[in-house]
Chain A
Amino acid sequence: MGNPQRVSMSMPLLEVEGLTKHFPVTIALFPRRQIGWVKAVDGIDFAVSPGETLGVIGESGCGKTTTSKLILLQESPTSGAIRFDGEDIAGLAGPELMRYRREVQVVFQDPYSSLSPRMRVGEIIAEPLQIHTDLSRAAQQERVAEVLDLVGLRPEVAALFPHEFSGGQRQRIAIARALVTNTRLIVLDEPVSALDVSIRAQIMNQLEELQARLGVSYIFIGHDLASVAHISHRIAVMYLGQIVEMADSLELCEKPLHPYTQALFTAALPAHPDDKREKLTISGEVPSALSPPSGCGFHPRCPKAMSRCAVDAPERKEVAPGHSVACHLY
């Protein structure tokens, strides 16, 4: 079965253009002086179509968490736009804002702190319904049972408390909650990283099945290349607040173009002891976001850096259909 490439080519569901978020860094004295900026997200563009999974991969400091916060309206962008169904979400208020909140949800990494400990599972899942609809109690319970069934849990679990469930089951509950209001886009922030290996596969399969059935889109943020590549249709590779490469998942695995992407592949763990091991092409650590390198952010660690790279920051250009990369080599 696997991941059906049944992606709608119509208008993108979510579109991000030139999205930037700079955090001012101040000295906490009186008067507050600003000493610089942390360019958490520095001008990114991408789009997610209905029924599609966009994978976002990157290491610490790449900006993926901030990007998800911007999409979820937990932070407001310094510049740039996020459009949902063609409408800019920045100015949303009142019923429009509620509509956005109803259709865009999130599943976090830690299953042990995403569920309110003193609420029953049924109440937790029903909460978005209570906020957005005026369904009767009975209708709510019906819907809760529906989504519980979708994620493979029995309707009786609605009466229990979160602490009676294992990590994997809690994540299912979190997913159920994310789906309950006919959500169209779910941001999944490392949803399986905290789970046992055998449970990870269960949840990944479940997510794929739900997408095939409901046509919901995902933004799947992760750090494990193999998992992200498995579930995503397209992948965006982020480094220091920018998208350095974006391509179809399979295309990226066959032909990674950006040296950072290539480094991620060489750094990835093998699936078998005899798998060909390429020499690691990267050294050093991710530089501090407070003082990023000039020109291309990756050049100090890049094995193929040229003199130009320290001066000019490369623009992301399409070099093959659906495959774009931000690198002077191309």
Chain B
Amino acid sequence: MTRVLYYMEPLLEVTNLETHYVSFGGARVVKAVDEVSFTLNEGETLGIVGESGCGKTTTCLSIVGLLPPAARIVGGHIEFAGKDLAQLSQSEMRRVRGAQIAMILQDPMASLNPLFSIYTQVAEPAYYHRSIRGRSLRQRVRQLLDAVRIPSPAQRMREYPHQMSGGMRQRIVGAIALAGGPRLIVADEPTTNLDVTIQAQYLDLLKELQQETGVAVIFVTHNLGIVARMCDKLAVMYAGKIVEAGAVRDLFNSPQHPYTKGLLGSMPKLGSKEKLFAIPGQPPDLASLPSGCAFHPRCTEAMPRCSTEEPGEIRVGGEWRARCWRAEPQYGQSAKGLDVDAAVGS
């Protein structure tokens, strides 16, 4: 259970974010992130789920201000702690990154500098953003290494990344993320390269740290199991848009969007030999999206309307919304009615 803090307003509020990959001269535009909106409160965990090319990583990079040169935020707002991150300059973003927002990436070896000691790397955010020096700095590093359960921290501090295992490196990355005392951590598939038992330990650790520090987390993943384990809220992305968002339990119990249903149905359940539901077709090419709803070619519940009109966000209840014509009240959606045989084996 997450600790609900009293809050005045959301910690992070993304409104109609649009990030495009633009070619030189503007001849080709890929809408990597298209009208994405969500809110995140203090201490909450939001899961962003989707497959390759859906825009989840680009969304995170937009928030953290680390977009590659070819990409640009062309619209929308990212309200964080009173500022619109989309409008900040690089130097202003640098002050926010590390201190208030930290990022954890998939490959720990890529996030750690092989030339610097663990101490140097963990101390850096605390040094720059909190201006901690000397003995307090060393204590802080020890604290952080303890917090991420690194055994014999005093010794490990002096070691280098290549001397550690994958799981430990990912914890170090976690320690670095926490060093600046951030209010938000954006974690992009941090456990994909880890062994199953190491992943479990890491996720447990993350949950504990969240409870201790009250930090909010955005968890980007393609794995619904992680979402079930870690997240309070969920946003499902497809072709650059959020197709369904809401509380985790709501989406798992009665998903409204056929894509969400498909993702849930395609997860093998332990101990069950039930045939898996396979969403037919391939994820779309962002440069040439289908007309109307981007998902309609693969949708087992598509109606004629879906190929011509793009659905807006339909409010299902409270913060729960879905971008699907079927979510409209007249269709009386109930839990999972998946047409398994229609889609199986494609």
- In the complex, are there CB atoms of A and B closer than 8 Å? yes
Contact digits for A162-180, partner B, Cβ 8 Å, 1 yes 0 no = 0000111100000000000
Nearest-CB residue, chain A, relative to B204: A280
Residues in chain B near residue A265, CB distance under 8 A: 270
Number of B residues, CB within 8 Å of A: 47
Contact present for B275 and A2 (CB under 8 Å) = yes
The answer to whether B262 touches A198 (Cβ under 8 A) is yes
Whether, in the assembled complex, B127 has its beta carbon less than 8 Å from a beta carbon of chain A, the answer is: no
Q: Which residue of B lies closest to A252 (CB)?
A: B271
Give the complex CA separation of A35 and B196 in angstroms: 31
How many Å lie between the Cα of A59 and that of B195 in the bound state? 6
- Asked if residues A197 and B268 are in contact (CB atoms below 8 Å), the reply is no
Is B226 within 8 A of A269, CB to CB?
Answer: yes
Band of interface residues on A: 35 or more
Query: Does A253 count as interface, using CB distance less than 8 angstroms?
Result: yes
Asked whether A204 and B222 contact (CB < 8 A) given A197-B51, A263-B197, A273-B252, the answer is no
Instruction: Evaluate contact between A267 and B276: CB separation under 8 angstroms.
Output: no
Name B146-171 residues within 8 Å CB distance of A. 165-168
Complex Cα distance A199/B279, Å?
Answer: 7
Closest CB of chain A to B221's CB: distance in Å? 10
- B263-294: which residues lie under 8 A (CB-CB) from chain A? 263, 265-280, 282-283
Q: Which residue from chain A places its CB closest to the CB of B197 in the assembled complex? A: A267
Which of B165, B167, B168, B278 sits near A205, CB closer than 8 Å? B278
CB-based nearest A residue for B232: A273
Interface SS, B side: loop
- CB pair A205–B344 under 8 Å, yes or no, is yes
Are the CB atoms of B165 and A274 closer together than 8 Å?
Answer: no
Which among B52, B204, B271, B275 is the interface contact of A1 at CB below 8 angstroms? B275
- Does A250 contact B271, Cβ atoms closer than 8 Å? yes
Identity of the chain A residue whose Cβ is nearest the Cβ of B225 in the assembled complex: A269
- Looking at the complex, which one of A60, A198, A223, A230 makes contact with B268 (CB distance below 8 Å)? A230
Q: What is the bound-complex CA distance between A185 and B100, given in angstroms? A: 54
Inter-chain contacts of A254 with B (CB < 8 A): 271
Evaluate contact between A280 and B201: CB separation under 8 angstroms. yes
Residues on B with C-beta less than 8 A from A269 are 223, 225-226, 228-229
**Is B28 an interface residue, CB under 8 A from the partner?**
no
Chain A proximity of B59: nearest CB distance (Å): 17
Assess A59 versus B197: contact at CB under 8 Å? Given A198-B279, A273-B248.
Answer: yes
Which single residue of chain A is at the shortest CB-CB distance from B164? Answer: A285
Any chain A CB within 8 A of the CB of B136? no
**A197, A208, A272, A286 — most chain B CB neighbours (10 Å):** A197
CB-CB under 8 A for A197 and B266, given A202-B278, A270-B225, A282-B197 = yes
Choose from B198, B222, B276 the contact partner of A201 (Cβ within 8 Å).
Answer: B276
B275 with A267: CB separation less than 8 A? no
Give Cα A285–Cα B171 distance, bound, in whole angstroms: 13
Chain A positions within 8 Å of B282 at CB level = 166, 168-169, 199
| Cβ–Cβ contact A196 & B52, under 8 A | yes
- Chain B residues, Cβ within 8 Å of A208: 275
Residues of A within 8 A of B345 (CB): 152, 202, 205-206, 209
Q: Which residues of A contact B (CB under 8 A)?
A: 1-3, 59-60, 152, 166-169, 196-202, 204-206, 208-209, 223-227, 229-230, 249-250, 253-254, 263-275, 277, 280, 282-283, 285-286
Sort A-B residue pairs by CB-CB distance and give the 3 closest, nearest first.
Answer: A269-B225, A267-B200, A201-B266
In the assembled complex, 7 residue pairs joining A and B whose CB atoms fall closer than 8 Å, in A order, are A198-B51, A205-B345, A230-B269, A264-B196, A267-B196, A269-B226, A270-B228
B residues adjacent to A (C-beta < 8 A): 51-52, 165-168, 195-201, 204, 222-226, 228-229, 248-249, 252, 262-263, 265-280, 282-283, 344-346
